[in-house]
Structures are given as C-alpha cells and as structure tokens.
C-alpha cells in the first residue's frame, strides 16, 4: 500500500512538473513574440488598417456613378443629329455641365432610389476613337451612338456592370418620353479584340505575376536565407553584395519572362488575344516593370531577418497594389481624390502601359514616361537596399 501510494504520488508530481514546463515554455514563446514590435504591427495593426481602408473603399455608397460615352458623328452621316432619341433625352432631362473643365462630363442624370442608392449617369461627348480607348481602359463601359434617330448601345456582353448600365439606360430612354423614342434602342455587342473583359484581364495578370514573383521570389528568399544563417556563410567569400543581388534579379527576370510568355500563349490559343501595339515597346515595358519590382524587393528584404516581419513588409507592398491598381476591375471605381495616387503606383503604371500596348496599339511614344519612371524607381530602390543590406 505504501509503495502504491508513493508511486501514484510520484506520477502526480511528474504531471504537475510537466504541466509547469509546458506553461513556462508557452509564456516564454509568447513573450518572444510580444517583444518583437514588427510582429505585433504586421500581425495585428496592419490587418486592421487594411480592413479600414478597404471597408471605406468598398462599403456601399449612397451614390453609384456610371460613366457613359456619347459618340459624335460627322454631319454627313447624321443630317439632324440633335433630333435623335439620345439627344432629346440629354437636352431635355439631363443637367448640363457648365464648369468648362476639359475632362469633365457634359450631361448628368440621377436616378433616385432610397433603398438601393442613387445611380448617377455622367455622359461624355467624344469621338468614336477616343470612346473606344476609354472603353478598353474601363473608364466607360457603354457607348451610345445616335444613328438615324435611334440609339445604339455598344458594350461588352460579358461585362455585368455594362449590362446593368444598359438596362438602366434603356429603361430611362423607354419611359417618360415621346412615343417615337420608345423601343428605338438597338444593342450592338462589342466582341472585337481589345474591348472584351479577357483583353482587360490578361495584361493585369501578367503584371501582377511579375510583382508577386519578384516580391516573394527575391524578398522572401533573401529573408529566409538570412534567418537560417545561410547568408552569414557568404561573408567570408570574395563575392560582392551587388553581384549576389544582381544574380537573384537575373534569375527572377528569366522566370518572369517564361511565366508571362506561357500565360500569353494560353490566352492567344484559348481567347485569340492579340498584341495590337509595338512588340519591342512591350518588351522594354516588361523589363522596366521587372526592374522596378526587383529594386523594391531588394530594398524590402535588405535588413530584416524575421520571416514574420518579412511577410508583413511584402504584404504591405503587394496587397494594396493588387486591390488598387486595376488588375481585375477598373480603378476608376475608386473616389476621384484617390485616382492621382493610384495612377502613380508602380503596378498601375506597368499595367496601364502593357494594356495600352495590347489593346490600344500604343508604342514608345505612349509608354516612354512609365518606362522611365519604373526604371528609375527600380534603380533608386536597388541602390538604397544595397546601401543598408546586411548579411546577418
């Protein structure tokens, strides 16, 4: 009995000791995390800030703005242009803009709805070539053309937002007007290259792939090597930091080229995607974007050895641009005050440049400015990262 009592007591004490060890280890690891400010910021505060920003951007607003192009025709094509259905509507029921600003709308019409929110239609008078360019960029999604007194609707049938705009516009033009206006609309679906959603999407996927591959392939690779003490071993070698980083960038550039080429070939076969602009300018634009993100990647990974902090830094660069830069939808949906900032993001500049070459037939003249800016950005960040780069 005494033996059994001591045996059970020993087991009980052993369990208490083990529990105490587990508790002490848990506290030690928790303190290790708490004492690292970067982990707390990127793991707790940064997601809160991102949710706040995206919540403000995507929360349902009272007013939904839809931009529509009204295509002008030559007087030889339309004898009395202002007698058409669309012009009757614009001149009689819409608010005329008298601000005189160059990029401002010409007419404004509001559909009030207390439950679903107001729909504001901004009509821009322009030539057909300019209207098609804005349609490809996602600035407008419906073109209205007055032809022989009837209104033609030109839009991508695969674009749900364009379909909704058409349904609302046709409802406006078909109600509350004179009898010669009702039923006078004709749908002209746009399926030509450059106006489809897939033409808008693929260039964005290519540029997003360059950003993701550069940031994770270069940045996280360096941070992981530093955290595992692998970079420490390279200090004793005669290798220069610049050579090491340039070699990483070269390999990543080659991988990005292969990945982008495979995606383009797939889109070419599956969706008959075409490059309408100058191919050499596309290659230079692609190289400039790679230089920009490679330089940013080197700068981001130049100092930290903590993988969690590295994850936060990479996401800080990648996530906002993925959402804001118009990869999956036009950034024109964001508030007007934010557009100048969005347009100057590296991913936005690269995406707009490559899209213009793919869909608008752009060449060096149109993409020279973003090429220079992206190249300069990459060089500045590369040398800044090289300056503060540490092996361990």
Does this model's pTM top 0.85? My answer is no
Q: According to CATH, where is 3.40.190 located in the chain?
A: 63-189
Structure token digits, residue 1 = 């009995």
Q: What tens digit of pLDDT does each residue of 231-257 get? A: 888 777 777 888 888 888 888 888 888
Mean pLDDT, residues 71-79: 57
Q: Of residues 347 and 271, which shows the higher confidence score?
A: 347
The answer to whether 184 and 150 are in contact (CB under 8 A) is yes
**pLDDT tens sequence across 263-317:** 888 888 888 888 999 999 999 999 999 999 999 999 999 888 888 888 889 988 9
Token digits of residue 345: 């993001």
Q: Is the pLDDT of residue 120 over 80?
A: yes
178 versus 12: the higher-pLDDT residue is 12
Residues 6+ apart with CB under 8 A from 139: 67, 330, 332
CATH T-level topology, domain 63-189: D-Maltodextrin-Binding Protein; domain 2 (3.40.190)
Task: Tell me how far apart the alpha carbons of residues 250 and 214 are, in angstroms, rounded to a whole number.
Answer: 11
Residue with tokens 């090429």: 371
Q: List the one residue out of 156, 8, 147 whose CA is nearest residue 71.
A: 147
């Amino acid at each position: 009995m005494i033996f059994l009592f001591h045996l059970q007591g020993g087991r009980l004490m052993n369990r208490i000791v083990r529990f105490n060890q587990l508790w002490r280890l848990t506290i030690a690891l928790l303190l290790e995390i708490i004492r690292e400010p970067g982990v707390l910021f990127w793991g707790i505060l940064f997601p809160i800030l991102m949710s706040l920003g995206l919540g403000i951007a995507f929360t349902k607003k009272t007013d939904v703005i839809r931009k529509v192009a009204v295509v002008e025709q030559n007087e030889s094509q339309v004898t009395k242009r202002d007698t058409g259905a669309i012009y009757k509507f614009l001149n009689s029921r819409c608010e005329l803009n008298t601000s005189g600003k160059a990029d401002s709308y010409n007419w404004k019409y509001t559909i009030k709805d207390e439950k679903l929110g107001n729909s504001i239609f901004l009509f821009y008078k322009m030539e057909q070539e300019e209207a098609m360019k804005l349609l490809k960029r996602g600035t407008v999604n419906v073109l209205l053309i007055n032809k022989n007194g009837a209104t033609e609707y030109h839009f991508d049938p695969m674009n749900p937002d364009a379909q909704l705009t058409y349904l609302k516009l046709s409802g406006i033009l078909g109600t509350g007007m004179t009898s010669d206006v009702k039923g006078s609309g004709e749908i002209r679906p746009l399926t030509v290259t450059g106006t489809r959603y897939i033409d808008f999407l693929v260039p964005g996927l290519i540029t997003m792939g360059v950003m993701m591959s550069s940031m994770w392939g270069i940045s996280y690779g360096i941070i992981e090597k530093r955290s595992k003490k692998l970079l420490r071993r390279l200090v004793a070698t005669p290798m220069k930091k610049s050579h090491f980083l340039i070699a990483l960038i070269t390999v990543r550039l080659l991988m990005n080229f292969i990945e982008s080429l495979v995606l383009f070939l797939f889109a070419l076969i599956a969706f008959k995607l075409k490059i309408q602009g100058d191919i050499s300018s596309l290659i230079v634009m692609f190289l400039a974007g790679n230089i920009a993100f490679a330089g940013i990647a080197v700068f981001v990974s130049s100092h930290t050895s903590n993988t969690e902090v590295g994850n936060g830094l990479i996401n800080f660069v990648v996530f906002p641009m993925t959402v804001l830069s118009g990869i999956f939808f036009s950034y024109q949906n964001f508030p007007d005050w934010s557009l100048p900032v969005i347009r100057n993001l590296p991913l936005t500049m690269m995406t707009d440049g490559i899209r213009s070459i793919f869909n608008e037939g752009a060449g060096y003249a149109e993409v020279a400015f973003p090429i220079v800016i992206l190249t300069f950005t990459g060089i500045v960040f590369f040398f800044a990262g090289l300056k503060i780069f540490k092996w361990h």
